Structures are given as C-alpha cells and as structure tokens.
Structure 1
C-alpha cells in the first residue's frame, strides 16, 4: 500500500504576534489528494501549537513516501473527564458568565435600554393581603438583545426555529472549548486558531471566544473596535459540528465593515448553531474541561433573549479518596 507525505515550506503567524518558519518540512498525510488547508490543520496539531492566525505554504507538494510516524492527534472523547467518569472524585464549581441587567443598561448602541416599573407596590399590596403580608410585582420592558443573550435561528430567519423550539440538550452542560484570545493583534478571529482542537473535542461543544472585550461593557469604548468571528472561522466551526458559539464581545460579526453583512450570524444560525453574545468572565475558565449552560425562556415567536450563562468546573474533592 502506497503511503504519502506532504513536503513543504511554511510560514506560521500567531494571532498575538510572532511566527514560525519551516523549510523542507515533511508530514505524514492520509492520501495523495490532501490539500493545503488540511495539511495546515495537521501541522498545527502535530506541533501542538495554539493561537495560530494563519498558515501559508510558499512551497507545497505531496510525494509518495513511507510514513515516519508523525504524531497524531488523539480523538479522545473523554478528554477533560477524570478517570472513572465525570464526577468521580470531584466537586463542581460554578462560574457566572453573564452581565447583570438593570434599568437603563445600554448593551448595544441604538437598542432601547430596559425599564423597570411597579405593577403592584408593597404599599398597595397591604390593602389586598392579610396584615404583615406584602408582595411586589414589577414589569420589565426590554429588547431581547439585552445583557448576555442567546440567538436562535428565528433571530435571523423568518422560518427558523424560535426560542421555544430549542432542545435543552443543546443548551445545558455542553463541553466547553475555550479559546483565550485576549492578546490577539487582529480583531477578526480566523479559522486557524481552531486547528489546535481535535474533531472529537469540537463536535457538540460550546466554543467560547475569550477576547477580553467584556472589560468595556457598559462604556462607550465597547461599541467600537470589538473583536469578532471571521466568516472562515464560522464555516470551520460549522463543519466541525459545534453546538454553540459564544463571545465576550459586542457582536459575533464585524459591525464596522462589510456593508451590513453578518456572515457569522447567517452561517451559524442557518446551521442550527446557537450564538451567545456579551459573555463575561471567560478568563476564569480553562481551555478544556468545563461544562457550559445558557438557557433562555421558552418563548414562541421570539428569536433572542437574555440567558443566565454559566460554566461548571470540576475540581478535586478534598474528601475523596486518592
């Protein structure tokens, strides 16, 4: 059986600056028709690189040559799970990833801020209930795009599934793959940064993009220069079969260019991939091993609504036998 290797020169750039050059590199490949994009992904995984922004090949060819045992990437579905299964000898810790909502909060410029008003005041309720018993019932008026919120397909497409249609299994306890990109030099998040994660890690996962932009939330600075997911990045994640993509930024798309186009929203929601925007606290999560939950109310005919997003971290149980 004929085996094949890629032979190439490569220029690798990182999103946080710097790069690597390779000359005459040889890498085992599965067949003669493998392209540059696939070899770029194999190379990143083979070298164990992180935060890759781009891989270019000034010279590239596939040759018939016996494999030399290039290091593969383990497709281990149990990655991040302690021996004996999830929860064995561990305790959990919850990390809140949501911004609090309050009257007057500006989430996105141009979208109305929420207002809160009483329907029944405590004073008025004393006329209704027994002595010593009182209640407050309030009314909140707000846009669905307030605070930390989730987009369903209906947000983008008239015939897409609304909030009431979403399956809980796609919203609760998702394995979280966290990309820490706060020191990236460019606003757009490229597909190459995801090459470090295996197909088994990404399939069914919540991919959370930690850009650090949440530090500006609620200030004028939040509205301009925000990081976003590139179209190529969205296409890569869809092909990988992710369940959800979240970002701690103004928008998952570039709102300052493209003539109003929203490729990340359009592609992800068309593929049934949930989008969560305006996350916070992602710096507190490990790259792998957490579980992510973000559940909106079950509202029919509605596409976007705030969520209480949080992550569950497994930590050693001090009382467990070692």
Structure 2
C-alpha cells in the first residue's frame, strides 16, 4: 500500500490566516526531570491543514464532532488547476477532463500548486478560487467534502467568507484547507482520509490528511 501525507506540520511560527493566533508548543514535563515528556499545545481550530464544518460560519450549523467518522473518509479525485493564473477562477473547464470520475468521487481536491509557497509571503497572495459554477456543481452533488492547497475556498481578502456561507447554507459537508502534495496523487480515484480531533462543539479542527493506493 502506498500512502501519501497531505498534511502540513503544526509548529510555532507557521503560516496562519491573517489575524489568527500562532500555535504555541510549550514543554511542561521532560524525561530528565519527570521521567516522561509532555507538551502543552495552544492552537486555534483553523490552523494548518484543517477541516471546516457548517458551524464555522452558521450559528446552528453542524459541528465536526456531530459527524460520523465515515464523513472523513472516501474516494477522492485531485482536480489539477495549476494552469489557472494567480487571481484567476477555477471553472468547470478544470473538471471536464476527468469525465465521470468527478461524479464518482466523494471528495474533490483542487490542486493549484499553491502549497509550494507555504512558509513564504506569497502564500498569503491572490490564489485561485472556485467560481460560482463550480460551487453550484458541488452543492448539487453528493460530496462528503472539498479541499484546497490554499487558505481556502474564499479569497484571502473576503472577510464575509461568501463561498463558505453559500456552501454550508445548502450542504452538509466539510471543507478542507491548506492541503499539500496533491501533485503526487495522480489523475484517478484514490482513498482519502482527513480525520479531525474530536472536540466538543467543534467549529473546525486540524486533520491528518492522507491519500492511499491499494
């Protein structure tokens, strides 16, 4: 079995969405003094590779812990959007080359190549985003989730989180952000998992996203 890690490592001073507090990793016990090591982690729920549920933008929306574990696993397809220029729109033209694989997938993962900028100022730039036609297509489908190798479904400057709201007002699904290594997954269907921490009433949580091929 081949397994590909699609997850950025959580560390101090990592890229975070503008205005979000950076993670803090504090050693509270050591092997030398206590016989074991333990670390106190302080982290916001939407840091690093993470999943958003409807509760991220809707007061009465579903929280991550309310989903069955099966919500976070299924067949995925990487949609190659690397030809879309900076600030451009991801349209249905990006989906059409994959034929019926688009409908057979349970997760659509949009590969812009933006993960190559992780850790640089350019990661905070004008990354490509899906347009209304793609959003409508997703909403009309039966997907468990969509994912991106960027800060997310909305442009970084959209403080209203317009696409988040359009998605979650109409669909029970998850949105995964800050993926990496999508270029290693090929153009066919594969198994995908993105299990979040099970936190009470969670509006989001880091995930360990992986692809595997049998």
Shift of 1:187: 2.2
Q: Which has the higher contact order (CA 8 A, sep 6+)?
A: 2
TM-score, normalised to structure 2's length? 0.91
2:106 equivalent in structure 1: 205
The question of whether the paired residues in 2 share the 8 Å contact of 1:192 and 1:233 is answered with no
2:167 equivalent in structure 1: 268
Distance, in Å, in 1 between the alignment partners of 2:188 and 2:94 is 15
Q: Does 1:114 align with 2:23?
A: yes
Larger-Rg structure? 1
The question of whether the paired residues in 1 share the 8 Å contact of 2:95 and 2:102 is answered with no
**2:96 maps to which of 189, 195, 198:** 195
2:179 equivalent in structure 1: 279
Q: Does 1:313 align with 2:202?
A: no
Which runs of 5 or more structure 2 residues have no equivalent in the other structure?
Answer: none
1:97 equivalent in structure 2: 6
Distance, in Å, in 1 between the alignment partners of 2:80 and 2:98 is 13
The question of whether the paired residues in 1 share the 8 Å contact of 2:82 and 2:111 is answered with yes
Distance, in Å, in 2 between the alignment partners of 1:197 and 1:241 is 17
The structure-2 alpha-carbon separation of the partners of 1:203 and 1:139, relative to structure 1 and needing over 3 Å to count, comes to: same
2:191 equivalent in structure 1: 291
Distance, in Å, in 2 between the alignment partners of 1:238 and 1:197 is 18
Distance, in Å, in 2 between the alignment partners of 1:311 and 1:141 is 28
Corresponding residue SS for 1:265: helix
**2:148 maps to which of 210, 227, 247:** 247
The structure-2 alpha-carbon separation of the partners of 1:169 and 1:269, relative to structure 1 and needing over 3 Å to count, comes to: same
The question of whether the paired residues in 1 share the 8 Å contact of 2:124 and 2:156 is answered with no
The structure-2 alpha-carbon separation of the partners of 1:281 and 1:204, relative to structure 1 and needing over 3 Å to count, comes to: closer
Distance, in Å, in 2 between the alignment partners of 1:148 and 1:262 is 18
Shift of 1:195: 3.4
Q: Does 1:216 align with 2:117?
A: yes
1:230 equivalent in structure 2: 131
1:143 equivalent in structure 2: 44
Cα RMSD, aligned residues only: 1.8
Corresponding residue SS for 2:196: coil
TM-score, normalised to structure 1's length? 0.62
